[in-house]
Amino acid sequence: MPGWVDNLNGPIGLMVGAGKGVIRSMHCYGHYHAEVIPVDIAINALICIGWEIGTQKERSPEIPVYNLTTGDDRNTTWKQVLDNGKATIRKYPFEGPLWYPDGNIRHNKYLHALAVFFYHIVPAYLIDFLMLIFGQKRFMVRIQNRISTGLEVLQYFTTREWWFDTHNFNALPSKLNAVDKETFPMDLTIIEDEPYIESCMIGGKLYCLKEKMENLPKARLQNNILFVLDRLVSLFFYLFIISLVASYFEPARVLLSYGGPIVRHLPFVGKAVFGQQ
């Protein structure tokens, strides 16, 4: 089954968390190549390695090493994975997201920590506070703690880059006959990034979250509503920050005053700029 997955470990969990609007920031170097391959190829390689070792008449005194990595065959970066994931989630959004899925990767760990505070921690405590007021079970802080633990593990790999010798792995197909080559494909160069990521996202939606494709129109409507809310909240947040700057720094207030009627009617900013004149 294309896209089949039975757990949310690894990149799938990251994609689902981001698609649900829970994960909004990740410490990652987007230009580093993403060491991600389909599990089918990994399993095929393991089977063929066992066959090759088991049929050898003479064992080598050295332990053979097969690095099942992309090596130079695929140079997909983490940024490309993220961009493909965003494109897929717009086509096949998850049901009941907590917020609009528009997270980003940040290579600066301090900016990432700041984003985590505002986009992860503050909303989690706010949601749990609302749950407490309405007498409901609190869950968001607990989920965020689990997400933080998972991200810490994954970010070790997204902030580092390795290159392994894949000679033994690449040599495996040449030792198979035509039938076995078709039965156990291991060619990484034929993988297309967009269909692969799309298949992963749909697999997480169907097999992990147990969501139905028939509910896509409803999910898309929810996604569109959250998009508008996300942009409005972001707009008011930045206007509030600008108003704080204008309130305490005279040069900023003078500069903004040149905006005239436009600035005067902006929420927060208008009062901060013209209310003190």
pLDDT bin (cut points 50, 70, 90) of residue 259 is confident
pLDDT computed for residue 227 by the predictor: 94
Q: Is residue 260 in some structural domain?
A: no
Q: Per the structure, how many domains does the chain have?
A: 1
Per the CB < 8 A criterion, the answer to whether 13 and 83 are in contact is no
In the predicted structure, residue 276 carries a pLDDT above the cut 80: no
Under 8 Å between Cβ of 62 and 142: no
Residue 32, in any domain of the structure: yes
| Residues facing 33 on adjacent strands | 77
Burial of 223 (0-12, 13-18, 19+ CB in 10 A): buried
Q: What is the mean pLDDT of residues 82-108?
A: 90
Let me know if residue 243 belongs to a domain: no
Compute the distance between CA of residue 33 and CA of residue 12 in angstroms, rounded to an integer: 17
Neighbouring C-beta atoms of residue 180, cutoff 10 Å: 15
Residue type, 145: N
Establish if 270 belongs to a structural domain: no
pLDDT of residue 258: 86
Write out the two tokens for 262: 């436009």
Residue 31: count of CB within 10 angstroms of its CB? 11
150 pLDDT tier (thresholds 50, 70, 90): confident
Asked if the model's pLDDT at residue 257 lies above 80, the reply is yes
Distance, C-alpha 209 to centroid of its chain:
16
Give the number of other CB atoms < 10 A from CB of residue 91. Answer: 11
Contact 23, 11 (CB under 8 A): no
The residue type of 21 is: G
Report yes or no on 29 lying in a domain.
Answer: yes
In whole numbers, what is the pLDDT of the chain averaged over residues?
87
What integer is the mean pLDDT of 99-120? Answer: 90
**Residue 4, SS3 per DSSP:** coil
C-alpha triplet 141, 106, 221: angle, nearest 5°: 60
Cβ atoms of 117 and 37 closer than 8 Å: no
- Rounded to 5°, the CA angle 196-84-87 comes to 115
For residue range 3-18, list pLDDT tens digits in order.
777 777 777 888 888 8
- As given in the structure block, the two tokens for residue 240 are 């509030």
Evaluate whether residue 232 is within a structural domain: no
Q: What does residue 244 show for φ and ψ, rounded to 5 degrees? A: -65, -45
Residue 179 has pLDDT above 90, yes or no: yes
Q: How confident is the model at residue 196 (pLDDT cuts 50, 70, 90)?
A: confident
Domain range enclosing 31: 11-211
Is position 1 within any domain? Answer: no
What pLDDT is recorded for position 1?
Answer: 63
277, two tokens:
């004149």
Contact indicator for 152, 23 with CB cutoff of 8 Å: no
Across residues 100-122, what is the average pLDDT?
A: 90
Please tell me the distance from the alpha carbon of residue 183 to that of residue 270, in angstroms, as a whole number.
68
Backbone angles phi, psi at 182, to 5 degrees: -75, -35
Distance CA 196, CA 34 (A): 13
- Give me the percent of the chain exceeding a pLDDT of 70: 99
- Residue 219 inside a domain? The answer is no
Find the mean pLDDT for residues 188-197.
86
What is the per-residue pLDDT for 265? 86
Chain centroid, CA 211 distance in Å: 19
Residue 111 has pLDDT above 60, yes or no: yes
Q: Residues 67, 165: contact at Cβ < 8 Å?
A: yes
The pLDDT value given to residue 220: 94
Q: What is the pLDDT of residues 134-149, one digit of tens each?
A: 888 888 888 888 888 8
Share of the chain above pLDDT 90, in %: 29
